[in-house]
Structures are given as C-alpha cells and as structure tokens.
Structure 1
Amino acid sequence: MRAVDVERGEAVFVPLTRSVRHLIDATIRTEVDDETVFAARALIERATELLAAQMIPGSFGVHPTTEGGTVAWGNVAIGIRNPVAPPLVIHQDADGSVHTDVDLGAACEGPPGHVHGGLCALILDHMLGATAHQPGNPAFTGTLTVRYVQPTRLGRVHAEARVDRHEGIKTFAVGHIADADGTITVEAHGVFIRPKKTSAGGG
C-alpha cells in the first residue's frame, strides 16, 4: 500500500470532493430543461471515466502517510475523499470531550426540510466513538441508543460528546446534536468496547 502525502492529497482531493458535493446538491435541486440534463450527464460520465482509469481495489480503508501517521479518507463521517461524508471536523477539548459544527444541506434530507434521523445517528455514533477512542487503543461501538427529541432542521448543526465513565474494557459515552438556535434535537448514549490486547506469540 502506497504511503499518502497528506499535504498533496488535501490540495488535490479536497477541492475534487467539494465539487462532487456541489454536483450532488445541484442534481437534487436543479430545474433545468431535459437537454441540459442530458448534456450534464455526458460530462459526468466522461469525468467518471477519467477518474476510474486507475483505482485502488475495494474500499479506501486506512492508508499510511509519508509522515508516519494514517488517514481514513474514505470514511463516511470524516472522509475528505468521500462526497457522501458531511464531512465532520472533530475538535478535541481540554477535558477530553469533542465537538463539531457542520452544515447539512439538501443531500441530508429525511422529512421535508429536516435532517434524516439515520444521519443524525451516524454523526452521534462517530462523535461518541471519537471521545471514547484512546491513542493506540481504539474503541468500537457496542450499543448506541438514540433519542430523537425533536426534528433537526437542515442547515448548521452542532454536535458534542463526552465520556461518562469507564468499566473495564467498556467506555460509556454521551452526546447530543443541537440546531442553529442551540436547541438540543437528538441525544445519544453509547457503549464502546476496547478489544483486549493479546501478547505476541501467545498460545
């Protein structure tokens, strides 16, 4: 697997992914005539041919970087090369909690004018997981309980999460989503499991 040059990758692929997000939004909301749609489709198919000329097998997964880290640019929540991702930019607070602010547009719609509940669950799953994660000791979702307090309007939303407590290999985390007015619309409680480490060469 070839190591990723982060600086070059961000410079090249962030604008490409942003363009595809704009395309998705335009596809949903366009009201142009049929002839224009057909012309646009031909251009999109040509762009797809160009990009598909050389591809990695399967999904993006986790790639090493030339700086010695890793990137998950295909991730559906944070992937900078995934136009389906909002994408979330996670901010770590001094107390270990995390937060993000993100704009959710037409591509995120469930009920008219509101964010799909499944996307809210996705955001909270990732946020709770981010605060439960420890460097070198990842935590995986065991259970996630989501309570929809009221519909979440499309537009700017704020999400935050924190660890409630640890019990052995389990981390209990809580979080919520709030709308642009600061009203909490979705709450979540999750249990995240840290796999037990096994010693090398153990029988």
Structure 2
Amino acid sequence: MREPLSPEERAGRRVAVGELGGALRGLVDAAVRTEVPEAELESVAAAVRELTARLRAAGRGLHEIARVDDPETGERWYSPVYGPGSPVAPPLVATDSPDGRATGRVTVGKAHEGPPGLVHGGVVATLLDHVLARALRAAGRGGLTASLTVRYRRPVHLGVPLLLTAEMGGTDGRRTTAHARLVAEDTPEVVLAEAEGTFVALRTEQAADVFGATGRTVGAWTSRS
C-alpha cells in the first residue's frame, strides 16, 4: 500500500486528476457522438491504447483507495456520479449542510442517454441515490443504501441543467430515511423524478468485514453511535 499524501500533496494531485478527468469526459462525449470515417476511428483507437499503457505504468489494486480520496468523509475523487477524476461521471456538483440537506446540479450529456434524447432511468436513480446518501452523511448518519424507491414523473431530457435536492427524514437506530427530488432548474415547480431511500449505518465490526480489503478505516459508511 502506498504512503498517504500530505494535505498539500493531495491538493496538488487532485488538480491533476481533475484535469485528466475533464479531458477524458470530453473524449467520452466525442466518442459517443462522432461520425468520423472508420479509418479515423481505428487511428484514434490506437492512440488511446498507447495512452492507456502510460496510465497503467503505476496503478492501484481493485480494492485500494485512491490517495486523493477521503474515506472518512465519503469524498471519492473517482466516483462514477460526481468524481472529478472519473471519465464516466455526469458529473454532479453537490453541496450539503449539517442539518441533513444536500443539493446537486448537473447537466447530463449523450454518454448517459437512454431513450433518444432522454437521460437513462438508471442514471436518474443513481443521481438521486447520491444526494440522498450525501444528505445523511452531512448530518453524521452515514450508511449503505438498504432500499431505494424512485418515481419517474416526467421524461428527463439531455442537455438541460438539472437540480436535485435531498432532505434527511426519520431515524431508528442505525436506519435513516431520506427524500429527494429532481427538477429542471428553469422549471423547478415541475417534479421530474423523486425518491425515498433507507440507509443503514454499519457497525464497526461490519465495516471491518465489508471494507477489510481496502486496508483503511472507512468512517463515512459506519455507525457513529
């Protein structure tokens, strides 16, 4: 396992990771929208394979946590939902507050299309799940998703600035509920989708078993009581 980075080193690496992630998201968008000739596709594929080999020169194991991450707060720099370093993240820009609320803003592109011109329903569910969990973690109620119920009210279009809001509900021991909704920023009165989630905080011994392969303490998903 690699030595952890100092705060200054981590901040610097996060900048570089974010720059690469942004470039890769641009590449993904271009790849799913391109209509260049086949010969050009083959040439680009060869160039991408060369770049892949450069990145694989030093990599992490499957269960190893990235040094730019903070598993105690739940910040994942390569999260497929919001990670600045992830080439597949929409990406969602999220904020939260200690009173158990979270907000997310995102414009979903072609890479996450389901029906033509619409956001894939699974992506909608993923975005809602994230803001629900983030609201709970902000209030010190970390946990894993136990159930998620999504109601799709209207089609969610690609290329439209979206707003997600989530609020923590009741608690019962290690179980906490939360509610979220998704709207277009320019028509916030029209609910496009909404969700209810139940999250269960892991006991210390459970967390040690579930996350043991990482070799790290993972506080964001563990019971704080």
| TM, length-normalised to structure 1 | 0.86
Q: In the alignment, is the contact (CA less than 8 A) between 2:175 and 2:199 conserved in 1?
A: yes
Structure with larger RCO (C-alpha < 8 A, sep 6+): 2
Q: In the alignment, is the contact (CA less than 8 A) between 1:179 and 1:185 conserved in 2?
A: yes
What does residue range 92-111 of structure 1 map to in structure 2 within 5 Å?
92-93=96-97, 95-111=99-115
Once the two structures are TM-superposed, the CA of residue 100 in structure 1 deviates from its matched residue by 1.1
* 1:132 aligns to 2:132 (yes or no): no
Which one of 8, 13, 30 corresponds to residue 12 of structure 2?
8
> 1:176 corresponds to which letter in structure 2?
R
Counterpart residue number, 1:192: 199
Counterpart residue number, 2:175: 170
Residues in 2 aligned to 1:70 and 1:106: alpha-carbon distance in whole angstroms: 28
Residues in 2 aligned to 1:157 and 1:150: alpha-carbon distance in whole angstroms: 13
Change (3 A) 1:63 1:135: farther
Q: Deviations over 1:28-80 (max 9, x none)?
A: 111111222122112111111111111111155364779x9775222222222
Larger helix percent: 2
Unaligned runs of 5+ in 1: 199-203
Once the two structures are TM-superposed, the CA of residue 154 in structure 1 deviates from its matched residue by 0.8
Once the two structures are TM-superposed, the CA of residue 197 in structure 1 deviates from its matched residue by 4.8
Q: In the alignment, is the contact (CA less than 8 A) between 1:175 and 1:189 conserved in 2?
A: yes
| TM, length-normalised to structure 2 | 0.79
| Larger mean Cα displacement after TM superposition, 133-142 or 13-22 | 133-142
Once the two structures are TM-superposed, the CA of residue 10 in structure 1 deviates from its matched residue by 2.1
Aligned residues: 197
Q: In the alignment, is the contact (CA less than 8 A) between 1:62 and 1:70 conserved in 2?
A: no
Unaligned runs of 5+ in 2: 206-225
Q: In the alignment, is the contact (CA less than 8 A) between 1:73 and 1:81 conserved in 2?
A: yes
Residues in 2 aligned to 1:64 and 1:21: alpha-carbon distance in whole angstroms: 19
Counterpart residue number, 1:37: 41
Residues in 2 aligned to 1:99 and 1:69: alpha-carbon distance in whole angstroms: 17
Q: In the alignment, is the contact (CA less than 8 A) between 1:61 and 1:74 conserved in 2?
A: no
